[in-house]
Structure 1
Amino acid sequence: MTAYAGTEAVTRTRQLVTPALRKAVATLPTSTRRIGEYHLGWTDKDGAPSSACSGKLIRSTLTLLAAEAVGGTAGPAIPMAVAVELVHNFTLLHDDVMDGDRTRRHRETAWSVFGTGPAIMAGDALLSLAFQAVAESGAAARAIGDTVQQLIEGQLADCEFETCKTIRYADCVAMAQRKTGALLSCAAELGGLSAGASPEQTARLRRFGAEVGLAYQYVDDLLGIWGDPAVTGKPVFNDLRRRKKSLPVAAALESRTAEGEEFGALYAARGELTTEQLARAAYLVEKTGARDHCQARANELMASAPGHLRSIASPDPPVSRSVARAIAELGNLARLAARRES
């Protein structure tokens, strides 16, 4: 069980958003619907009901709380939250194919069950549903369109980095901002749009989401190397095995240390890395200081992100109790994102 499962905000989001998300996915043709429902943890590969993990819903929770933080209510933000979840799962279906990952959320990935082509098509189907969910809001549709372009650019950069002999740490940060930060930024923006937020409020929400998203990626990359497989659902040293240019890897390669030099040579060697080599690689990355650096950057982002929420609500009239609670919950959600276990 993840750290999110016991939070009141996420529990409420699950109750409000999941029925609407199920309703949207149910409109798909059978061929793509069954893949989408399997990927979302609602059914097993034979189509029977399942209670598998359906995701953390951090992005849709962010959308609902952002709406309330500017004085709105959760109801009008639900279609926006559904759209955010659909876009997120579109990226996961495609990422699993591109990365060749065979497990997600502690079970087989959709492509490994249904095939590469069908999984890609199911991802595309979920993306089309996202635009349908916000069809009545031109601003929301434009925000999603812009975000998807950033996600694609980030994913392409991530793929290119895997074959680059040298890579700059700054380039990896920029990639993470597009690949992960963009969607959390969009999630917060959509919440604001649903509540009629002012341009200044919307801009603050976007910046908050972007910083939370980058912190999330730092932690995700740390888990990709040192996460407990029993918790993450992925093999130990998973990112190292794939020679992924994650943030701690890039920081280690750019460290100008003896350990960084040894790690670089090991990472560049041909052939699969053995279990012993993977353990050595993880040790070397940590010895360069990259692990501590990435955790520190995540902590710094979490410390600065709440600053964008200050003055988000008008002081005249005084902030209501519900607005103050939503702003506090956004801060709590951000801290959980940076200190999660999976």
Structure 2
Amino acid sequence: MLRTDISLPWSTLGTERLLSVFRFGEGQRKAYIQASLHADELPGMRTAWELKKRLGQLEAAGALKGVIELVPVANPIGLGQLLQGAHQGRFEFGSGKNFNRDFFELSEPVAELLQGRLGEDGHANTLLIRQAMLDVLAALPPASSQLQGLQRLLLSHACTADVVLDLHCDADAALHMYALPQQWPQWRSLAGHLGVKVGLLAEDSGGSSFDEACSLSWLRLQRLFPQAQIPLACLATTVELGGQADTERDQAVAHAEGILAFLAEQGLIDGQWPAADGCCEAVPFEGTELLYAPHPGVVSFLRRAGEWVEVGDPLFEVIDPLSDQVSTVCAGTAGVLFAIERLRYAQPGFWLAKIAGSQPLRRGRLLSD
């Protein structure tokens, strides 16, 4: 194992923050795994620690057939953001920006570098593109903030990987994952290993999240160079490992073992591993229904995350104890109730439940901040 600690730019006077990258194995193929980019989403960090231990064992046994880079703490900035004892790891305090939005878009500057250089050899094109991605990132002006510097560092490690896993969680949720529709056949096995309830598929969900900054560039390059052989060489996903409270040891161990079994199927780990147990349904991300309260009040949920719901099924009640107004909010689409809010007081503009349905309901930017 090789540990690299990288200083983030633009630290406050008298302080320093580090990004720690753990590198296991060697070889041409590479997987990159990071956890808790939203720093208050800790199930991924707990799973990453189990992965760190197991990867050390596998490396010592000579079982690694490629490189696996692990970043257990992908957001040292947000990890220290507490407000009166409450962790605030989704948005950067100084700018108000979401840590998982606005990653640098690589396809256009990479295309400029590679005009006239791509041909019919897909492997050679992959090597050229990856080097161009690194060159583009290295040539950028100095980062103007710690957040920008952090995002560039993460992307520079992930853009040369064959497989990228970004480990997140939702508020109170069943396991679910986000991916390009073109890559879902390859992700079905990981979904089975982890017990994912639903896959949410979109080519571009808006906001330039980390996983799409890694995978979508290849799809765009395919379309910019239709005569060249360009594979979708970066298989990237965001995996939501349940809810924020799901940090139990048994869960983390199971998630780590499922990820390792998938990496073995990808040719990165040797040995005998259990086969995936079935697979969930995948639906268009456009089919996600976000449900809101019609007025303020105390919220009582009537269904649990992970349940299948039909149109008209009651999901939660909103109770105003001053006026005695009680409203029941029902499902507007059939699908998996994959996430519910942790807070139990309804506020305007904040979603309280999410359903993954098969019928498109939304257009444009699909990610909620």
Instruction: Identify whether the pair has TM-score above 0.5, normalized to the shorter chain.
Output: no
Question: More helix by proportion, 1 or 2?
Answer: 1
Higher relative CO (Cα under 8 Å, sequence separation at least 6) belongs to 1
TM-score for both structures, normalised by structure 2: 0.25
Q: Judging by fraction of residues, say which structure has more strand.
A: 2
TM-score of the superposed pair, with normalisation by structure 1: 0.27
